[in-house]
Chain A
Amino acid sequence: MELEAAKMIGAGLATIALAGVGVGIGNIFGSYVSGSLRNPAAAPKVFGNVLLGFALTEAVALFALVIALIILFV
């Protein structure tokens, strides 16, 4: 296979990581919503942790982006 075509396919495959990240972010906010409906008084206390978890999960998606960029341009 030609190198250019293989690079394109590889960069596309690198975005599969987004499936896991989607599950992760959905899980964070889903758990937050169901938890805060059960105990609304505790909801503001955990919101900081929710944002932290969101940022850490989102970073995984960006690692995949970096890998895709490395495949394409380096």
Chain B
Amino acid sequence: MAENQSPLAQFEIKTLVPIDLGSIDASFTNSSAFMVLSVLLATVFLVGGMRKSAMVPGRWQSMAELSYVFIANLIRDTVGTEGAKYFPFIFTLFMFVLFCNLLGMIPYTFTVTSQIIVTFALAALVFIGVTIIGIIRHGFKFLTFFVPSGVPVVLLVILVPIEVISYFVRPISLSVRLFANMLAGHTLLKVFGGFVVSLGIYLGWLPLGFIVVLTGLEFLVAFLQAYVFAILSCLYLNDALHLHH
């Protein structure tokens, strides 16, 4: 297989504008370009949709309003009324991940969320922010989060380390989930694209039909993973605010 035909070649990061800050390579890459593009598109989508803000919304305006109401309901259902304060953060997170995922579905574009460092940075932001919120709100009582209530003391010796580990694994599972979904989906599409070419004009239609189905599934996954990212951030926020025991 040639170098640029590998299914993983699409995830390669290319430097567009080299910027060197001492020992740190802060170049403007195709990844940064698509991040900027998705932020711009999300801004245009929301600001443009609400520009006229008519009493009876048109198509564009109702799409913008729907996305707002969707996340507002999500936060009300999972965190409760106290979560309204954190709405801007969750909404931004959701829109950013959603637009990055959807932009990646256009052929020959770069999928920002298929880079684990991007998703890990987002997940670490959620994790650290939520932990700080929990500590500010509850002080030392926050540590009771790791001690399940109504458990014999003997069992606590085993359970507390498990709770601590499962808490610190959260950013990893949150980031790997989004990253792996994007990576696997795009690799799969590319692999089946290779089948179309290698099977030729008679048998190539079979994988082509499969690609159509997979593309539909990938659009679903692109939306679903943004939703899962948002809902899990909300659940973590709920744990920190209410200390679920």
Contacts and interface: CB of A to CB of B under 8 A. Distances in A.
Interface residues of A, number: 11
Nearest to B178: A59
| Chain B residues touching A, range | 10 to 19
B231 A52 contact: yes
Interface string B163-180: 000000000010011011
Interface stretch (A5-13, A20-28, A33-41, A61-69): A61-69
A55 B221 contact: yes
B120 interface: no
Interface stretch (B37-45, B91-99, B127-135, B222-230): B222-230
B136 interface: no
A51 B224 contact: yes
Contact of A55 (B173, B176, B184, B228): B228
A70 B215 CA distance: 26
Contacts of A62: 176-177, 180-181, 183-184
A65 B225 CA distance: 17
Nearest to A65: B184
A40 B176 CA distance: 36
20 contacts: A51-B227, A52-B224, A52-B228, A52-B231, A54-B224, A55-B224, A55-B227, A56-B177, A58-B181, A58-B221, A59-B177, A59-B228, A62-B176, A62-B177, A62-B180, A62-B181, A62-B183, A63-B177, A65-B184, A66-B176
Given A52-B228, A55-B181, A62-B177, 19 more contacts: A51-B224, A51-B227, A52-B227, A52-B231, A54-B224, A55-B224, A55-B227, A55-B228, A56-B177, A58-B181, A58-B221, A59-B177, A59-B180, A59-B181, A59-B228, A62-B181, A62-B184, A66-B176, A66-B179
Cβ-closest 8 pairs across A and B: A62-B180, A59-B177, A55-B224, A55-B228, A66-B180, A62-B184, A65-B184, A62-B181
